[in-house]
Structures are given as C-alpha cells and as structure tokens.
Amino acid sequence: MAAYVLHLAILAGIYIILTLSLNLIIGYAGQVSLGHAAFYGIGAYVSALVSLHWSFPFPAAALAAVLAGGLCGLALGLPTLRLKEDYLAIVTLGFGVIVDLVFLNLEITGGPDGLPGIPPPNFFGVSFREPWVYLILVGVFVLLVLGAAARLVDSYHGRALRAIRDHEITAQVMGINTPAYKVLIFTLAAALAGLAGSLYVHYITFINPETFGLHTSILILAMVVLGGMGSIAGSVLGAVILTILPELLRQAHAYQDLVYGALLVGLLILRPEGILGRGKLSLKFLQREG
C-alpha cells in the first residue's frame, strides 16, 4: 500500500510538471497545444536512447531531453505561432499524431514493443532505484519548476504574456513583441515536458508509444482546465486530482474518459475559471468581436 501511494506521488509529480508547462501556454499566453504529450514523449525517448546507447548519466540524459523537447517546440512554434489559436490547436494535434507514428514506426524506438531496461538514475554515488529516493528527485524538480514558473508569471515577462492572452493587438501596440513571446513560452513549455518525459522514463524503466498518444495530451489538458487556466496552484491541484481520481474509481475504469469529457464541457460552462482560476479568464475580458 505504501509502495502504491509512493508510486502515485511520483506520477503526480511528473503530471504537475506537465500540467504547469501546458498551463503556461494555455493559461498565460492564451494559446492552445493539443499535442503536449508529443514533447513528453520526445523527452522520454531521447532520454532513454542516450542512456541505453551512449550510457549518459541521468543529469546529462535529462538535459538532452530538455533540449530535445525545447528544440522541437521551437521548430513547431516558429512557423505556427503567428497563426490564430484554432490553427495552432490543429497543428499541435497533428504534430502529436505524427510524433506518435514516428515512435511506432522507427527501428531505433523499438516500434510498438518499445524499449525495455532503461537504467534508473545513479549519479554522485546515489542510486535512485528505491521509489522513495526517486520521489525526492521528482519533488526537487517539481519545486524548482514551480518556483521558476511563479517567478516568471509575476515578472515583466509574465505580465506581457497575460497581455497577449487578454488582447493580442493591444499587447502589440504596447510594444510587446508578441510572436517572440509566444515562441519563447511554447519552447519553454516543450522543454519542461521533455524534462517530465525524462523523469517518467527513468522511473518506469520501460518505454512504448502508448504512453504518449492523444489520450495523454487530452488528460493534461483536462488537468489544466480542472485546476484553472492561468493558476499555478490550480495546475498542482488539477494534476493531483486527476492522478488520484482514476485510482479511486478503479471499478469504474470504463467511465474514466466519459467523466473527463463531461468534466471539460461542464466546467467550461459552469465554472470556466476552474477550481482555482484567477477571476474570469474567459467570460469578461475576452469578449470576442462579432
């Protein structure tokens, strides 16, 4: 039982990083990514491959995962972020499908069978094989990411992002380089998702494409919306609730997706700001012309 709680806590930590990174895109910059699991997967595969083939130690593998996620985010963000939200949504979704197919079809990723035997972290003479030691590692990363995100959103840059979310043209008129900010936050979020992927893969020590499909992208999105778009504490709460809830509802496993779907629609109609969202993100400020 304790081992099980530990397992859930580690997963919740990884989901917190994922949810927070997606929230930076959705809740702060007002853009949408429906392929966030792709960056998670890219980080996971890169981290696994460099550990298996080049026996990178964990810190180097995690750094490689962050860089890979960030670079892919940059490559996708540069051409698409000058487009409207809807286009970004569909492009990121398509990107998710493509990346999933790449994982499934490449030889180096082991195809549908995936890659077994990924080593757990072992650096500075400490082995992270024990789950509770791993939880500390994940916890440290979660705190670092939370701290950095909190600093970011309260800074000049965070205000610039919110200005873009609330009214892009006004933000532009105020001298904010909106495309640069959007690309920057998208890249940063993709890099964080890469980090989460690395943390996941060295914990589970096995990887296959199933973990990184559309289902996961939607799950992360549900976590963001449930907790509250544009709320850091909300991301933590959303990630924790949706990690634990499915476990509590084990018998009702078949109803899980049904609940997520209804949750998304219901929340947006009844409480669009989520559990902990700040103010009314979606109803008052963002009146759409026409």
Partner 1 sequence: MFFQQVINGLTTGSVYALIALGYTMIYGILGLINFAQGEIYMCGAFVAVLLLATGKVNFFLAFALGMAGAALLGVVLERVAFRPLRGSHPLVPLISAIGASIFLQSLALLLFGPNDRHFPMQFTFTTVKVAGLPVSTLQMAILAAALGFMGLLVLFVRYTTYGKAIVACALDRDTARLMGVNVDRMVSLTFLLGSALSGAAGIMMAIYYNATYPRMGLLPGLKAFSAAILGGVGNIPGAILGGLLLGVAESLGAAYVSSGFKDAIAFAILILVLLIRPQGILRGRGD
> Which positions touch partner 1 (CB under 8 A)?
26, 30, 32, 34, 79-80, 83-87, 89-91, 93-95, 97-98, 101-102, 104-105, 214, 218, 221-222, 225, 229, 254-258, 260-265, 268-269, 272, 281-283, 286-288, 290
Nearest Cα residue to 67 out of 92, 105, 87, 39: 39
> In this complex, which beta carbon is closest to partner 1, that of residue 24 or of residue 281?
281
Nearest Cα residue to 8 out of 135, 146, 143: 135
Least distance to partner 1, CB of residue 212, Å: 15
Q: Which residues of 235-246 are buried (b: 16+ CB within 10 A; e: fewer)?
A: bbbbbbebbeeb
Least distance to partner 1, CB of residue 20, Å: 17
Contact 66, 193 (CB under 8 A): no
Query: Per the structure block, which two tokens stand in for 263?
Result: 């949750």
> In this complex, which beta carbon is closest to partner 1, that of residue 2 or of residue 254?
254
- What count of other Cβ atoms lies within 10 Å of the Cβ of residue 61? 27
Alpha carbon 161 to chain centroid distance?
A: 18
> In this complex, which beta carbon is closest to partner 1, that of residue 27 or of residue 69?
27
> In this complex, which beta carbon is closest to partner 1, that of residue 93 or of residue 138?
93
Least distance to partner 1, CB of residue 194, Å: 20
Least distance to partner 1, CB of residue 174, Å: 19
Least distance to partner 1, CB of residue 63, Å: 28
> In this complex, which beta carbon is closest to partner 1, that of residue 133 or of residue 286?
286
Contact 211, 44 (CB under 8 A): yes
Least distance to partner 1, CB of residue 213, Å: 11
User: Under 8 Å CB-to-CB from 91, ≥6 apart: which residues?
Assistant: 76, 80, 83
> In this complex, which beta carbon is closest to partner 1, that of residue 63 or of residue 264?
264
Query: Per the structure block, which two tokens stand in for 289?
Result: 């012309």
User: DSSP secondary-structure letter at 115?
Assistant: B
